[in-house]
Chain A
Amino acid sequence: MTAAWEEPIGYVLRASTTGFSVGTRVNQMGKPAFGSIVKAQPRGDEREWVYGLLYDMHIDDDPMVRQLVLADAVSEETIRDQHHHRIVPVEMNILAIGFRGYDEQIRHALPPRPPLSLDPVFLCNPDEIREIAASFDYFRIVLTTSQVSSEQLLAANLIMAAGTLPENEQYDFLVRAGREAARLLTNDMARLDSLLRLIYPA
């Protein structure tokens, strides 16, 4: 059985420097989740690996779905068939938070160039997650994004990142992350409080 991060979760649909959209099938939706760290892998050229946080999953309608929605009774088999043979992909939106440069170091900054269409997109493995979360420099990118509730996104990401650590290190990791968030949100106590409560409900 292959690990979740060994198979692509989708392919790049659209991209810009600040993020990209990934198209995927319904049956591939079980692996990625809100807050997951993903990477867009360049196809054989010299481009950088671009890392990002999954902040939105979008399911558009299509003509078939429109008709089925109006039908009186739709069988389970039809629904499953529709899921498998959708003509419109499920879209996942990714916020770019870093890239791996030519020196193999991960930089928490917007990438020099976006990934290209149809570049495969993978979930990061635990080692990569720990490598990225070893530094909290990407928090600023996340907390300044306007595309989604940044506290929700960061909290989801941190809980996932903590899960890659041994149990006895998880709390300290979350405290250190919380302190960095506190440093960045020092003038917005309401957001900070909301973020911290999402990470560690009383």
Chain B
Amino acid sequence: MAKKSANELDKYFGARTPRLGVLIGGSLGRGLDVRLDPNVDMEELAVGRYVVIHGHQRRFFCIITDIGLGSTNAQITGTPPDMSNPFLADVYSGSIAYGTMHIAPMLAISEEGKIEPVRTIPPHFQEIWTATEQDINDVFGDEDEVHFNIGAPLELLDTQINVDLKRLTERSVGVFGKSGTGKSYLTRILLAGVIARRAAVNLIFDMHNDYGWEVFNESGARDKGLKQLFPDRVVIFTLDDESSRRRGVRPDFVVTMAYNEIEPADLEALRLTMDFSDTMLDAARLLRRMWGRDWIQSLLTAEPDIIEDLINTTAINGPALLALIRRLQRFQRFGFLVPQATGDSVQAIISHLDKGRSVVLEFGRYGNALEAYILVANYLTRRIRERYVHRVEESFGDESKQPPQLMITIEEAHKFLDPQIARQTIFGTIARELRKFKVTLLVVDQRPSAIDEEVMSQIGTRVTALLDNERDIIAVFMGVSGAPGLREVLARLDTRQQAIVLGHAVPMPVVIQTRPYDEDFYAAMGKPISGKRVGSKSRKKDSQELYVDKEFEGFG
């Protein structure tokens, strides 16, 4: 195919301005090196922004991953020119001393408009341009029944990044970021999209009461929770009725759990949090076999002679048994644990989920007790998943019995998915099962490095706010091509309202300024879809090719 000049390509791509520089080296694996034009103000550039290379046959969409300074003569660094002379300063800057940037190619658009993964790179000295709104729209398209606006790319705030909610919910999702970077805010936006478009029903284990009725934002104002946005599609369950009512929330269901519903398997998930040893868990299993469902209550009310008898007549290790009792005694401060449950919480949740309603379970004051959070989340999820598995298997013979796609949101996810317990907990199982049983996870966490690697590799979409711990950054990008460059981008995000989105639900990694969670957002949630866009082209049909399943076999 004959090479085309930049002018000829502009007929297809549209003329663009300003030019940033020319391609001078690099590789597909390592990323590409660009020498900046002399008139480019380096301070106007930033990692995470998009640029476009005009190749001979296609546009290459790239993200800036690093910015640097170069010189053609090392001598100039030893004897810098007299920059007090403006002429010398203007001549040297951009000639012998120049700016560079490193960019990572993310995808390519052929002149026919076909969007494809990057499998090659443009040749030397091709021109690099700032990405335009039209470029972004060509890739991310309009908001529609499936695509939901979560924000805008940096510096192109008049356009929007739309995630594919169907793909978002069919695999597990991770929302990561250090403390105070707006993880709950990001999660709320994603959940609102999922609920608004009915992409899935949600079970949200709301540790800090961030999602249900309302939440105080940083400026002290009240942000509406999901229940206020979607009164008919969201129900609030609470573990702490008193706390809920104090906050003006009228919960739809007060969850209680009977001691006799707690199985030794539920304690497995608390192994790290409550320091249960193998011997203690063995003792619990033995007691369950001996005493039946009331084993916890029996143990907590047992007289000393019964304990002594147990130690003497069974294989239970004495110190382990005493330690187990001490740990189980901590449960007694949880008001939601009662001798006799007042209703079937699991059935109540499933009943709402079946009606297409999402359930927010508020923990009230128990949100500060991690063991309560893990116990309840694990307890409910185990039972809900069991019923889902049963129903999905039933639906193989009768499709009408298919349960709705369910996404379970958990916070402090590394406490559930630590490598030491991920294989034993229900959450590890769900993460590994992918979409087989129509249950996926939305994990919210600040320590992704503490999450089991296998689980991380199965998280389809990762939405990551600022992380500064090297191990966490590595964990988030494990298995992502071009990761070294993206690490730089991630480490330099703003502390608020910026995130990098990559994986299953977006055609390419994208740094976004998140959509404001304000009155406009509330209004948009109640309206028919009316995507705002710049330019006239509709979503490129071929962009769907980027989403084919064969492209995703898990990260890592």
* A residues lining the B interface (CB < 8 Å): 171, 174-175, 178-179, 181-183, 186-187, 189, 192-193, 196-197, 199-200, 202
Contacts and interface: CB of A to CB of B under 8 A. Distances in A.
Contacts of B84: 202
Nearest to B72: A186
Contacts of B91: 175, 178-179, 181-182, 196
Nearest to A177: B91
B322 interface: no
Given A189-B76, A193-B81, A182 B88 contact: no
Nearest to B75: A189
A200 B76 contact: no
B552 to A, nearest CB: 47
Nearest to B81: A193
Nearest to A178: B91
B92 interface: yes
B94 A189 contact: no
Contacts of A183: 72, 95
Contacts of B85: 197, 200, 202
Contacts of A182: 91-92, 95-96
Contacts of A192: 96
A196 B94 contact: no
Given A175-B87, A199-B87, A202-B85, 15 more contacts: A171-B87, A174-B87, A175-B90, A179-B95, A182-B96, A183-B72, A186-B73, A186-B96, A189-B73, A189-B76, A189-B96, A192-B96, A200-B87, A200-B88, A202-B88
A196 B76 CA distance: 15
B95 A189 contact: no
B72 A178 contact: no
Contacts of A187: 73
A108 B88 CA distance: 26
A187 B96 CA distance: 10
Main secondary structure of the interface of A (DSSP, over half): helix
B79 interface: yes
29 contacts: A175-B90, A175-B91, A178-B90, A178-B91, A179-B38, A179-B94, A179-B95, A181-B91, A182-B91, A182-B92, A182-B96, A183-B72, A186-B72, A186-B73, A187-B73, A189-B73, A189-B79, A189-B96, A192-B96, A193-B88, A196-B88, A196-B91, A197-B88, A199-B87, A200-B87, A200-B88, A202-B82, A202-B84, A202-B88
Interface size class of B (residues with CB under 8 A): 10 to 19
Contacts of A199: 87
Contacts of B75: 189
Nearest to B94: A179
Contacts of B72: 183, 186
The 10 lowest CB-CB distance pairs between A and B, nearest first, are A178-B91, A200-B87, A182-B95, A179-B95, A202-B85, A186-B72, A175-B90, A182-B96, A186-B73, A189-B75
A186 B72 CA distance: 6
A193 B76 CA distance: 11
Interface string B60-98: 000000000000110110010110110110111011100
Contact of B87 (A178, A186, A189): A178
* Most interface-central of A182, A187, A200 (chain B CB within 10 A): A182
A193 to B, nearest CB: 7
A181 B76 CA distance: 15
B336 to A, nearest CB: 73
A178 to B, nearest CB: 4
Given A187-B73, A202-B85, A178 B95 contact: yes
B87 to A, nearest CB: 4
Nearest to B85: A202
A183 B94 CA distance: 10
B38 A196 contact: no
Contacts of B79: 189
Contacts of A171: 87
Contacts of A202: 82, 84-85, 88
A175 to B, nearest CB: 5
* Most interface-central of B72, B92, B95 (chain A CB within 10 A): B95
A196 to B, nearest CB: 6
A202 B87 CA distance: 8
* Most interface-central of B81, B84, B91 (chain A CB within 10 A): B91
Interface in B286-345: none
A193 B94 CA distance: 15
Nearest to B89: A175
A186 B96 CA distance: 6
A196 B87 contact: yes
A115 to B, nearest CB: 35
Interface string B224-248: 0000000000000000000000000
B397 to A, nearest CB: 75
Contacts of A181: 91
A171 B92 CA distance: 14
B40 to A, nearest CB: 14
Contacts of B92: 182
A160 B509 CA distance: 53
A31 B254 CA distance: 102
Interface string B161-192: 00000000000000000000000000000000
Nearest to A185: B96
Nearest to B96: A182
A179 B88 CA distance: 10
Nearest to A174: B87
Nearest to A181: B91
Nearest to B82: A202
A193 B87 CA distance: 11
